[in-house]
């Protein structure tokens, strides 16, 4: 049990480290975010600066990045950490709104988009991989393996652009952008949910058909390896039903190494979301981050950065805590750490 | 009177055969030809017997096991007939069964126990699930079945509920193997095929399991086919023996008949090459040559290339079975002459003389400083469970003092997990002790490394003087480097005044010394072009090129075939004399330890749970063991001249206690048949009896100790050493 406590503390320490790192980035780096924001404001000011103007600019910078340069360094640090921990990530310069609110508004959409993409690509990839392993060496296996290898090497955004072009512009089957149908009210009503699902189709497809191949190949390899293990042979001799062997013996054990991969994929989903959301004009977190770079909206960029790191830390934390449930050999947690 | 048998059922007087194997072959199609890994086998197996099948690795014994259950792995092709006779007189040909019939046949009529019990269970399911799903798959009553499972498990000295609720990885190797035996008997099969069921286990566990198999066979009335490479193991277990060589049975007969009058040259060679604890060392010889390639089996008698008696007739015609007597068949044209041509090694009770080694025990009466001194060394591994829990310490080495003298050979033996490897690594400075000290010629190794105090011998020099040979030569040599390159490195590193020519000369000279000729050829090979024995020689040379004073040989011969072991040990001893080194030889096998120490006049140390419980010369340890644990190890070492056939296991419990939570008092008291209450409270120390090399840590060695007045320990004391404890 104590391992869990240690693991939790470790996760908290990582989160704390990330916050500190963003502080260092903002405050200490020469020409860092604070400097450039000040320079930006000075440029916008036009005309000569009085001391008053300077003070005003400093105040603005201060509220936006949560750092008061007049305080001693450690006070600044404590202030910054405590405001981040209380959910105050500063003020977006472009949107003129708290970063936290912006993130919270976008977050569910991205989680929904990437969550369904990852779930689908894993589910399909694993099924396909298991089938390939069982048909090892047949035409089906060779064909699917070649297909998977090919699709893995195609970037998802290429597929995305093709999908938008053909299914969106040319044949008009699916909406080419947006995240919900117009004139629907968000909530648990059919028109809204149907619209959301409809808008989700193209982006999800482009991630799934490119991402699934790699999972399928990994699953195939794992399954083939497990099928060579002695306990499979013993299970066959014991007369177990092929279905039991396929699911409980081969599948279960071949899945184990995929689990950490899944959790890592969760961590990377925001990175992937940037381009995907841009292509489909999907107003999610990725698009927000992309535009913040374009707008030089530093507090917002910092907020996104923090959020992504937190997600990775939390995903790995969950992976570690639950891995023991999947594989009893690591129940004590001593020998397994996914990072 | 040579009489060629016409009936292929060969020399077996079976009344009620449960299996009739006829013309069975297994073939694999390979690029370079058809590989016949089972070649036209005929054999009857009597209902209710224990048939021992013995052969070297690669002789086709596993294929024989598989073919009995029609479980040959594709692309292997099984040919011939495997007739199975049920108790009520029906006969079926196992090779003709449909998939569904076969599914029922296996495990209900005939089941199998594999060597790899470690991998025979699904790691993600509990043991109970394995039992339940087996019952379920065969539509058996779950409740009755589980009752039977519990009974089987407790018959095998396991605690049923504890085992059933465990995951496979929570059980020790011996426990898993016994659980697998229980699982194989779950559906009350008529036949159990056991394929090397004890190969991966310690001798003591092997012997215990063999006893249990015999007990269980009596109780449940099954036929057992026991397959192994280990002839001595079968001597005690099997009713009949079948010796396999080159994919066929070369000799079949009653166990006693085969052991007393082996009539095939191969059987005799096999017997002679088996290290035997009581047989004189000089008589052990390795079998020359190597086993044939299944694609290219020699014509005529397949043994003729290795057989000292071979004639043209052997090359031309394949011998059939000759009957030496009603119960004994042999495939050799000249079986009547083997007695003279290949004499058996002298057996123990005839001329057992304590051979005086070339020089007396090194440790005695010398005032030389030892090469290496361990003083109360401790290595505790902490497996901390978190911030707040008391860390569990595995006391791998717990307060051991030992002196190793110049040129001495010390063998450490003990079951796996007793800490012998850790002790070895501590001795040569690869493992930092958590307590006590390790010194090389008076210089503390770790002080030298850390630069504490006055360093008389620099760490670099110590490092060079203490070398190691690992168990698995395959992973100890870089596969991408030639032998020459591998051997050059130590020379370049420690002996840089040598020029290239000298280096080459040394390497080639060494290769020649160890018998790898022509050396130029071997020097340019890569490890995968060498056999296991040759690889081990390369690691031996690599260690010796450093001109060390002490070499740790950690199970260095365990990975080799039995027939190669004696050869390798001889080589190590020859080189030891040439190079003036001491050896610390770690083994789990008493016979090997005896062989190497007896030839060199060394000592044997017996370890149990991190402590040395007895140490002394070979003679003292083998012929006069004092510690009950040593006695049980000696008991467990296969002995061809089995006398007390039905001796009980000299242990109260079969399984070793958890090293994280060792028993109080004497650590052996939980298993010791002689334990009394004192043993659970007080801890004996290692003491000698004055001027002798023999030291033992047991109260029984102390006259007038309170032990003798103490009541006997009850068996049902609370077991505080459940191995599955978290």
- Output the 3-class SS for B523-577: HCCCHHHCCHHHHHHHHHHHHHHCCCCEEEEECCCCCCCHHHHHHHHHHHHHHHH
> Quick check: A259 and A323 in contact, CB under 8 A?
yes
Q: Are residues B420 and B318 in the same domain?
A: no
Give the mean pLDDT of A45-49.
68
Cβ of A328 within 8 Å of Cβ of B169? The answer is yes
Size of interface A-B (CB pairs under 8 A): 87
Residue in chain A lying closest to B137 (CA)? A240
For range B120-141, the mean pLDDT: 89
Closest CA relative to residue B552, chosen from B532, B531, B535, B572 = B572
- Look at residues B593, B613, B645 and tell me which one is the last residue of a structural domain: B645
State whether B123 and A249 contact (CB < 8 Å).
no
Residue ranges of domains in chain A, CATH in brackets = 15-83 (no CATH), 107-327 (1.10.3720.10)
Does the pLDDT at position A70 exceed 80?
A: no
Cβ-proximal residues to B171 (8 Å cutoff; 6+ apart), any chain: B127, B163, B179, B723, B724
Task: For chain B, give the percent of residues with pLDDT over 90.
Answer: 5
The three-state secondary structure class of B98 is: coil
Q: Which of B347-351, B501-505, B568-572, B622-626 has the lowest mean pLDDT?
A: B347-351
CATH code where residue B612 lies: 3.40.50.300
Is B615 among the domain residues? yes
Q: Is the pLDDT of residue B117 over 50?
A: yes
Same domain, B337 and B376: no
- For A254, nearest residue in chain B (alpha carbons): B124
Tell me which of A189-198, B433-442, B514-523, B628-637 is least confident.
Answer: A189-198
Inform me whether the pLDDT recorded for B401 exceeds 70: yes
**Is B103 close to A239, i.e. CB distance below 8 A?**
yes
Q: Closest to B726 (Cβ–Cβ): which among A6, A256, A332?
A: A332
Q: pLDDT, tens digit, for every residue of A234-255?
A: 888 888 888 888 888 888 888 8
Tokens representing B613? 């419980």
CA B391 vs CA B385, B581, B720: distances in Å: 6, 40, 18
Q: Within this chain, do residues B380 and B326 fall inside the same structural domain, yes or no?
A: no
Q: Are the Cβ atoms of A234 and B120 closer than 8 angstroms? A: yes
Average pLDDT over residues A158-167: 81
Domain count, chain B: 2
pLDDT score for A333: 43
Residues from chain A contacting residue B120 (CB–CB below 8 Å): 230-231, 234
Contact A228/B at CB under 8 A? no
Residue whose structure tokens are 């058909």: A209
Does residue B660 sit at the A interface (CB-CB below 8 Å)? no
Within a domain: residue B86? no
Instruction: Let me know whether B334 and B378 are in one domain.
Output: no
Residue in A2, A229, A239 nearest the CB of B386 = A2
CB–CB of B52/B242 below 8 Å?
Answer: yes
Q: B653 pLDDT band (50/70/90 cuts)?
A: confident
> Do B530 and B463 have their domain in common?
yes
Q: Can you tell me the distance from the alpha carbon of A115 to that of A102, in angstroms, rounded to the nearest whole number?
A: 20
For residue A62, pLDDT over 80 is answered with no
Tally of CB atoms within 10 A around A1: 11
Chain A nearest C-alpha distance from B381 (Å): 14
For residue A233, what is the nearest residue in chain B, using CA coordinates? Answer: B120
- Token readout for B647 is 């001796």
Beta carbons of A239 and B106 less than 8 Å apart: yes
pLDDT at B8: 40
- The two beta strands, B582-587 and B550-554, are parallel
Tell whether the model's pLDDT for residue B3 goes beyond 70.
no
Contact A257, A52 (CB under 8 A): no
Of A6, A235, A253, the CB nearest to B386: A6
Whether A239 has its CB under 8 Å from any CB of chain B: the answer is yes
- What is the structure's pLDDT at B226? 92
Q: Is the pLDDT of residue A134 over 50?
A: yes
Look over chain A and give the mean of its residue pLDDT values, rounded to a whole number. Answer: 79
In Å, how far is A128's CA from the nearest CA of chain B? 22
Contacts of A5 in chain B (CB under 8 A): 386-388
The percent of residues in chain B predicted with pLDDT above 70, rounded, is 86
pLDDT at position B1 is 36
Residue B225 has pLDDT above 60, yes or no: yes
Residue A335: per-residue pLDDT = 42
Do residues B571 and B462 share a domain?
yes
pLDDT of B360 > 60? The answer is no
Q: Does residue B64 belong to the interface with chain A, where contact is any CB pair within 8 Å?
A: no
Determine contact: A182 vs chain B, CB below 8 A: no
- Could you tell me if A231 lies within 8 Å of chain B, comparing CB atoms? yes
Interchain contact B8–A (C-beta under 8 A): no
Mean pLDDT for chain B? 79
The label of the residue with tokens 């405001």 reads A83
Residues 5-34 of A with CB under 8 A from B: 5-6, 9
What pLDDT, on the 0 to 100 scale, is given for residue A211?
Answer: 83
Closest residue, chain B, to A255 (C-alpha): B124
Helices and strands per DSSP (H, E), number in chain B: 25, 24
Q: What is the mean pLDDT of residues B607-635?
A: 86
Domain boundary, last residue among B645, B678, B704: B645
For residues B582 and B370, is the Cβ–Cβ distance under 8 A? no
pLDDT single digits (tens) B582-605: 889 988 878 788 888 888 888 899
Percent of chain A with pLDDT over 90: 1
Residues B239 and B283 reside in one and the same domain:
yes
Contact B386 A240 (CB under 8 A): no
Q: Do A249 and B122 touch (CB under 8 A)?
A: yes
Give yes or no for A248 touching B (CB within 8 A).
yes
Is residue B300 located within the same domain as residue B397? no
| Residues B312-341, mean pLDDT to the nearest whole number | 78
Q: Considering the domain boundaries, does residue B142 fall inside one?
A: no
In this structure, are B402 and B326 located in the same domain? no
Q: What is the mean pLDDT of residues B259-286?
A: 71
- Name the minimum distance, in Å, from the CA of A251 to any CA of chain B: 11
Residue ranges of B 169-188 with Cβ closer than 8 A to chain A: 169, 180, 183
Residue B146, pLDDT score: 92
Can you spell out the DSSP letters for B195-227?
ESTTTTS-HHHHHHHHHHHHHHHHHHT-EEEEE
- Chain B positions touching A256 (Cβ under 8 A) are 124
| B236 C-beta neighbours (distance < 10 Å), count | 19
Of A281-290, B86-95, B270-279, where does mean pLDDT reach its minimum? Answer: B270-279
Instruction: Point out the least confidently predicted range of A87-91, A329-333, B272-276, B702-706.
Output: A329-333
Would you state the pLDDT for residue B497? Answer: 76
Pair B333, B400 in one domain: no
| B650 vs B622 pLDDT, higher one | B622
Q: At what angle do helices B562-579 and B265-273 cross, to 10 degrees?
A: 40
Domain boundary among B645, B680, B695: B645
pLDDT for residue B131: 92
pLDDT at residue B355 tops 70:
no
A241 vs B104, B137, B169: nearest CB: B137
Length of chain B: 726
**Within a domain: B553:** yes
Contacts of residue A233 in chain B, CB cutoff 8 Å?
A: 71, 73, 114
Output the CA torsion sign for B94, B95, B97, B100: positive
Residue A244 forms contact with B (CB below 8 Å): yes
Residue B169 lies in a domain: no
- In which order are the strands placed within the sheet that holds B17-30? B33-46, B17-30, B77-85, B91-93
What is the DSSP track for B573-627?
Answer: HHHHHHHT-EEEEEES-HHHHHHHHHHHT-EEEEEETTEEEEEEEHHHHHHS--S
The whole-angstrom separation of Cα A109 and Cα A106 is: 6
In this structure, is the dihedral angle defined by the CA atoms of residues B150, B153, B154 and B159, taken in order, positive or negative? Answer: negative
Nearest to A252 among B111, B124, B389 (CB): B124
Q: Give the rounded distance of the alpha carbon of B384 from its chain centre.
A: 33
More confident: B470 or A60: B470
**Rounded average pLDDT over A314-333:** 74
Nearest-by-Cβ selection for A2 from B116, B183, B389: B389
Q: Which domain holds residue B332?
A: 49-57+189-341
Which of B656 and B50 is assigned the larger pLDDT? B50
Question: Is B434 among the domain residues?
Answer: yes
Provide the pLDDT confidence category of residue B224 given band limits of 50, 70 and 90: very high
Cα torsion angle, B516, B518, B524, B527, sign: negative
Does a structural domain hold residue B475? yes
Shared domain check, B246 and B206? yes
The reported pLDDT for the residue numbered B530 is 81
Q: Among candidates B465, B519, B531, which has minimal Cα distance to B487?
A: B519
- pLDDT band of B391, cuts 50, 70, 90: low
For residue B496, tell me if it sits in a domain: no
**pLDDT for the residue numbered B523:** 87
Same-domain check for residues B337 and B380: no
Does the pLDDT value for residue B314 go beyond 50?
yes
- Do residue A328 and residue B138 have CB atoms under 8 angstroms apart? no
Contact B119 A231 (CB under 8 A): yes
> Under an 8 A CB cutoff, do A244 and B133 touch?
yes
Phi, psi of B501 (to 5 degrees): -65, -45
| A180-A182-A184-A187 Cα dihedral, nearest 10 degrees | 20
Report the gap between the CA of B586 and the closest CA in chain A (Å). Answer: 28
Task: Name the minimum distance, in Å, from the CA of A314 to any CA of chain B.
Answer: 20
- CB distance B29 to B75 below 8 Å: yes
* Out of B106, B124, B167, closest to residue A237 by CB: B106
């Amino acid at each position: 049990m104590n391992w869990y406590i240690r693991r939790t503390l470790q996760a908290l320490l990582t989160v704390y480290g990330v916050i500190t790192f963003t502080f260092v980035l903002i405050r200490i780096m020469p020409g860092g975010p604070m400097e450039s924001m000040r320079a930006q404001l000075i440029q916008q000011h036009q005309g000569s600066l009085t001391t008053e103007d300077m003070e005003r600019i400093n105040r603005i910078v201060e509220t936006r990045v949560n750092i008061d340069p007049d305080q001693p360094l450690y006070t600044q640090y404590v202030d910054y950490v405590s405001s981040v921990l209380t959910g105050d990530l500063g003020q977006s310069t472009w949107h003129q709104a708290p970063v936290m609110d912006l993130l919270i508004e976008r977050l569910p959409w991205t989680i929904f988009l990437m969550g369904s993409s990852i779930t689908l690509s894993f589910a399909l990839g694993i099924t396909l991989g298991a089938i390939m392993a069982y048909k090892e060496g047949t035409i089906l296996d060779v064909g699917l393996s070649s297909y998977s290898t090919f699709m893995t090497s195609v970037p998802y955004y290429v597929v995305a652009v093709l999908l938008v072009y053909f299914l969106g512009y040319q044949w008009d089957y699916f909406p080419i952008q947006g995240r919900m149908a117009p004139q629907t009210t968000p909530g648990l009503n059919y028109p809204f949910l149907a619209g959301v699902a409809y808008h989700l189709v193209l982006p999800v497809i482009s991630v799934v058909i490119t991402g699934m191949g790699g999972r399928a190949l990994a699953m195939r390899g794992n399954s083939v390896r497990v099928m060579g293990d002695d306990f499979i042979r013993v299970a066959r001799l014991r007369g177990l039903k092929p279905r039991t062997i396929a699911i409980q013996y081969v599948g279960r054990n071949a899945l184990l190494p995929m689990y950490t991969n899944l959790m890592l994929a969760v961590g990377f989903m925001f990175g992937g979301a940037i381009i995907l959301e841009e292509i489909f004009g999907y107003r999610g977190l990725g698009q927000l981050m992309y535009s913040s770079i374009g707008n030089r909206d530093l507090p917002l960029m910092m907020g996104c950065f923090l959020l992504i790191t937190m997600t990775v830390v939390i995903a790995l934390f969950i992976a570690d805590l639950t891995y023991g449930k999947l594989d009893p050999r690591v129940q004590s947690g001593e020998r397994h750490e996914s990072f | 009177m040579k009489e060629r048998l016409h009936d292929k059922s060969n020399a077996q007087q079976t009344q009620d055969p449960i299996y009739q194997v006829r013309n069975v072959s297994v073939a694999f199609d390979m690029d370079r030809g058809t590989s016949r890994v089972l070649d036209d086998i005929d054999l009857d197996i009597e209902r209710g017997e224990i048939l021992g099948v013995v052969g070297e690795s690669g002789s086709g014994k596993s294929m024989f096991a598989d073919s009995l259950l029609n479980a040959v792995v594709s692309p292997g092709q099984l040919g011939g007939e495997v007739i199975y006779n049920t108790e009520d007189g029906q006969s079926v040909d196992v090779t003709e069964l449909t998939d569904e019939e076969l599914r029922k046949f296996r495990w209900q009529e005939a089941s199998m126990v594999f060597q790899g019990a470690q991998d025979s269970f699904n790691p993600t399911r509990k043991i109970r699930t394995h039992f339940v799903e087996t019952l379920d798959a065969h539509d058996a009553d779950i409740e009755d079945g589980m009752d039977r499972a519990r009974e089987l498990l407790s018959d095998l000295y396991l605690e049923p509920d504890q085992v059933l609720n465990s995951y496979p990885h929570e059980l020790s190797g011996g426990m898993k193997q016994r659980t697998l035996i229980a699982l194989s008997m779950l559906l009350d099969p008529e036949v159990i095929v056991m394929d090397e069921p004890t190969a991966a286990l310690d001798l003591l566990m092997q012997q215990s399991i063999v006893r249990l198999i015999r007990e269980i066979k009596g109780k449940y009335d099954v036929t057992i086919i026991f397959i192994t490479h280990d002839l001595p193991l079968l001597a005690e277990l099997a009713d009949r023996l079948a010796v396999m060589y080159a994919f066929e049975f070369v000799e079949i007969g009653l166990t006693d008949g085969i052991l007393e009058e082996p009539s095939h040259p191969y059987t005799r060679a096999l017997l002679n090459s088996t290290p035997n604890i009581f047989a004189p060392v000089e008589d052990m010889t390795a079998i020359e040559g190597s086993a044939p390639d299944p694609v290219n089996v020699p014509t005529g008698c397949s043994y003729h290339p290795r057989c000292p008696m071979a004639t043209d007739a052997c090359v031309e015609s394949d011998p059939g079975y000759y009957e030496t007597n009603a119960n004994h068949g042999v495939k050799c044209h000249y079986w009547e002459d083997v007695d003279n041509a290949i004499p058996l090694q002298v057996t123990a009770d005839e001329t057992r003389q304590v051979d005086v080694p070339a020089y007396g025990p090194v440790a005695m009466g010398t005032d030389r400083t030892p090469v290496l001194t361990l003083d109360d060394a401790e290595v505790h591994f902490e497996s901390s469970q978190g911030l707040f829990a008391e860390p569990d310490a595995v006391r791998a080495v717990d307060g051991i003092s030992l002196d190793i003298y110049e040129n001495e050979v010390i063998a450490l033996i003990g079951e796996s997990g007793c800490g012998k490897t850790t002790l070895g690594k501590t001795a040569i400075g690869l493992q930092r002790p958590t307590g006590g000290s390790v010194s090389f010629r008076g210089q503390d190794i770790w002080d030298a490394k850390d630069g504490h105090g006055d360093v008389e011998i620099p760490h670099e020099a110590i490092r060079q003087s203490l070398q190691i040979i690992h168990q698995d030569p395959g992973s100890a040599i870089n596969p991408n480097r030639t032998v020459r390159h591998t051997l050059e490195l130590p020379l370049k590193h420690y002996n840089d005044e040598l020029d290239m020519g000298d280096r080459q000369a040394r390497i080639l000279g060494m290769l020649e010394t160890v018998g790898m000729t022509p050396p130029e050829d071997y020097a340019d090979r890569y490890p995968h072009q060498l056999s296991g024995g040759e690889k081990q020689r390369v690691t031996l040379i690599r260690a010796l090129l450093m001109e060390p004073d002490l070499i740790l040989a950690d199970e260095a011969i365990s990975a080799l075939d039995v027939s190669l072991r004696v050869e390798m040990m001889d080589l190590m001893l020859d080189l030891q004399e040439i190079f003036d080194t001491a050896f610390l030889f770690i083994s789990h096998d008493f016979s090997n330890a005896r062989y190497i120490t007896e030839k060199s006049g060394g000592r044997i140390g017996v370890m149990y749970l991190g402590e040395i419980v007895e140490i002394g010369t070979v003679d003292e340890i083998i012929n006069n063991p004092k510690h009950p644990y040593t006695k049980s190890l000696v008991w467990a070492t296969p002995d061809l001249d089995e006398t007390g056939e039905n001796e009980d296991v000299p242990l109260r419990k079969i399984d070793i206690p958890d090293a994280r939570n060792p028993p109080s008092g004497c650590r052996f008291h939980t298993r010791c048949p002689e334990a009394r209450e004192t043993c659970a409270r007080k801890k004996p120390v290692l003491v000698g009896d004055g001027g002798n090399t023999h030291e033992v840590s047991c109260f029984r060695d102390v006259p007038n100790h309170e032990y003798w007045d103490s009541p006997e320990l009850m068996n049902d004391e609370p077991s505080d050493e459940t191995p599955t404890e978290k």
